[in-house]
Amino acid sequence: MTAPAGPEVVTVGEAMAALRATGSIKLAAPMELSVAGAEANVAIGLSRLGHRVAWAGCAGDDEFGTLILRTLRAEQVDVSHVRTDTDGRPTGLLVREDGIGDLATVRYYRTGSAGSAIRPEDILPALDRGVRVLHLTGITPALGPSAAQAVQSAATRARELGVTVCLDVNYRARLWSAQQARDTLLPLSRTADILVASADELHLISDDPSLDEDDAVAALLAHGIREVVITRGGDGASVATTGGTVTAPARRVPVKDVIGAGDAFVAGYLSALLDGLGVEDRLHRAATTGAFAVATRGDWEGLPTRADLALLDSPAGTTLR
């Protein structure tokens, strides 16, 4: 019997239980329970698009940890490199409260969590020469020294193996200061082949934070980063390489929930990269997966399968029978 193929992509980070309030928390609004975490969102997105993907991390030995593993397994994400914490650290928690219009507040309860104690030895066994992409974000290093070391070690090992490293800056002001982020993310970004950032995050990974966007991107390319992907929300995205810059608009859909859209975008972009598509087609797929995310509630629940990708090209009002 042929052994099952290993993952094409490994994502590293913390997954949390997510409580989404349906109204004001102080008025005891009901809450919906789900799972959240940028790297897990990307893993689910890639799996739904037909790719073999593993999420590596650490879960608490509690009901929330069980929920995370059960959810990822159901989404056909490999969790064989997830360590269950045995030192009493709980699974992290995210609480979301929607406000007026599309304003949302997210609070984290992840200090001392199992995910914050992820170690290099938890991650490195997931990386071998069969892996094509390692996906990291700037969130995990913010969780603590051990997590930061794990991410840096994974990036270093991936470079040694010739694995493409994708880093999404994904700055979270509630987790660390801009200066703390810069001190860690500046050297980490130099290990990336593909760098994803919003325009207002470039100062965190630029040698000279005062550079404007064009000069900052040019400097990053000069450091050897292969692709600099700039996300602009509803204004689309661009990809800069040494061969020039390609831009693409966002796809227009009714917006229900923007949280998780960036992770969906990254999943679509990496999916197209794995399929060998050019930059324009990568941006198109990324914009499409991002559109599915914002058109539905939840961080990952509305992410498309490969068969779903063409649905946005259907005429308005189409009914599938």
Q: What is the torsional sign of CA 233, 238, 240, 245?
A: negative
Backbone phi and psi for residue 194, each to the nearest 5 degrees, phi listed first:
-120, 125
In the block, residue with structure tokens 């739904």: 48
Question: Minimal CA–CA distance to 136: which of 167, 182, 90, 160?
Answer: 167
Please state at what angle helix 38-48 crosses helix 63-74, rounded to 10 degrees.
30
In the block, residue with structure tokens 């037909």: 50
DSSP secondary structure of 30-84: -EEEEEE-HHHHHHHHHHHTT--EEEEEEE-SSHHHHHHHHHHHHTT-B-TTEEE
Q: Is 263 a catalytic residue?
A: yes
Distance CA 37, CA 16 (A): 6
Question: Minimal CA–CA distance to 123: which of 44, 38, 11?
Answer: 11
Confirm if 151 and 121 have CB atoms less than 8 A apart: no
Q: Which of 200, 263, 275, 308 is catalytic?
A: 263
Tell me the catalytic residues. Answer: 263
